[in-house]
């Protein structure tokens, strides 16, 4: 498996794209409330990316995807398509996945939002899934193997009685949206690709309340849990530095976790 190594110029481009994606995710948060449709959220993000950031929403027309963001509600695992008829309801949980292209570089990030007050079991799933992502990120440094990251994520999820989705994974990213290496969120320590300085990739665990199994709906994109139990996901784009990591899509809300190690 080959993977790209970013030059200093590439890294600066990735920082800019990552910051724009993070800013869009922060911006849309104030619009998450009961009654808004996912199509409205898509329009808000599209207009912000295109008109304010002077950037490109990477998902739009990517392999036929029809919208500018992904909106995945409750038992939707990932790749939910914004819809004029899908209104958010109080108690829903939703993942919004943003990827921005700026000067050919991609910044890719997602987070979970609660719509009003949600049940304690949903809050717990959101929190543990974010912890899973952080468990993976904190291991990133030259010499770490991807199996170490996957194992740490899987162990934390399963220790909390959740399951890890295996059909979807993190990925290398740069001037290409999705490239090697595949970053699995499960695995065995001391296996897989060894990290080297200059690699950029996403860590984006999808954690299910019930069983790990998923299915794709007839639209060809939307992945849901087979048992219709809740799923959650968090995502950051990560740079491997000489001594650790840098989170390229860092947001103010991450302040309890180091941006750079």
Model confidence pLDDT, tens digit, residues 58-99:
999 999 999 999 999 999 999 999 999 999 999 999 999 999
Distance CA 96, CA 117 (A): 18
58: phi then psi, degrees, rounded to nearest 5: -60, -35
Nearest of 155, 114, 99, 107 to residue 131 by alpha carbon: 155
Q: Report the mean per-residue pLDDT for the chain.
A: 97
Report pLDDT digits (tens) over 199-213: 999 999 999 999 999
DSSP state of 81: P
The closest of 63, 64, 71 to 46, measured between CA atoms, is 71
CA–CA distances in Å: residue 79 to residues 151, 164, 188, 208: 24, 17, 27, 15
Tell me, what's the pLDDT at 3? 83
Which token pair is 183?
A: 């970053």
Work out the number of other CB atoms within 10 angstroms of the CB of residue 256: 6
In this prediction, residues 32-54 reach a mean pLDDT of 98
- Separation of alpha carbons 85 and 81, rounded Å: 11
Task: Give the gyration radius of the chain's Cα atoms.
Answer: 17
d(Cα 228, Cα 92) in Å, to the nearest integer? 14
Mean pLDDT of 5-9: 97
Second CATH level (architecture) for the domain 8-254: Alpha-Beta Complex (3.90)
DSSP states along 223-251: EEETT---EEE-BEEEEE-SSSEEETT--
For 156-201, write each residue's pLDDT tens digit: 999 999 999 999 999 999 999 999 999 999 999 999 999 999 999 9
Domain ranges in the chain are 8-254
- Confidence label for 1 from pLDDT (cuts 50, 70 and 90): low
Kindly report the length of the chain: 261
User: pTM higher than 0.95 for the full model?
Assistant: yes
The arithmetic mean of pLDDT across residues 134-147, rounded, is 98
CA dist list (Å): 119 to 29, 74, 76, 78, 124 = 19, 12, 17, 21, 9
β strands within 33-139, DSSP E:
56-57, 70-73, 76-78, 93-102, 105-114
Given this model, what pLDDT does residue 68 score? 98
Rounded mean pLDDT, 140-161: 98
Q: Which residues contact 247 (CB under 8 A, 6 or more apart)?
A: 137, 236, 237, 238, 239, 254, 259, 260
Contact 50, 58 (CB under 8 A): no
């Amino acid at each position: 498996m080959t993977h790209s190594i970013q030059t200093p110029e590439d890294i600066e481009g990735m920082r800019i794209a990552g910051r724009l994606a993070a800013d869009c995710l922060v911006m849309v948060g104030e619009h998450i409330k009961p009654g808004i449709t996912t199509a409205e959220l898509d329009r808000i993000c599209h207009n912000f990316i295109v008109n304010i950031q002077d950037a490109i929403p990477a998902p739009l027309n990517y392999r036929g995807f029809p919208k500018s963001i992904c909106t995945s509600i409750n038992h939707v695992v990932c790749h939910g398509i914004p819809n004029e008829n899908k209104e958010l309801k109080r108690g829903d949980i939703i993942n919004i996945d943003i990827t921005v292209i700026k000067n050919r570089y991609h910044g890719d990030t997602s987070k979970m939002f609660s719509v009003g007050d949600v049940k304690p079991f949903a809050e717990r799933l959101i929190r543990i899934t974010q912890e899973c992502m952080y468990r993976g990120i904190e291991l990133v440094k030259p010499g770490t193997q991807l199996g170490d990251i996957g194992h740490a994520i899987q162990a934390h999820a399963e220790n909390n009685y959740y399951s890890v989705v295996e059909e979807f994974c993190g990925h290398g990213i740069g001037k290409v949206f999705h490239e090697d290496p595949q970053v699995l969120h499960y695995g065995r320590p001391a296996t897989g690709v060894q990290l080297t300085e200059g690699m950029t990739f996403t860590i984006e665990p999808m954690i299910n309340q019930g069983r790990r199994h998923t299915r794709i709906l007839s639209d060809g994109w939307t992945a849901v849990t087979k048992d219709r139990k809740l799923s959650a996901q968090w995502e950051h784009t990560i740079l491997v530095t000489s001594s650790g990591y840098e989170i390229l899509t860092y947001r103010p809300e991450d302040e309890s976790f180091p941006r750079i190690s």
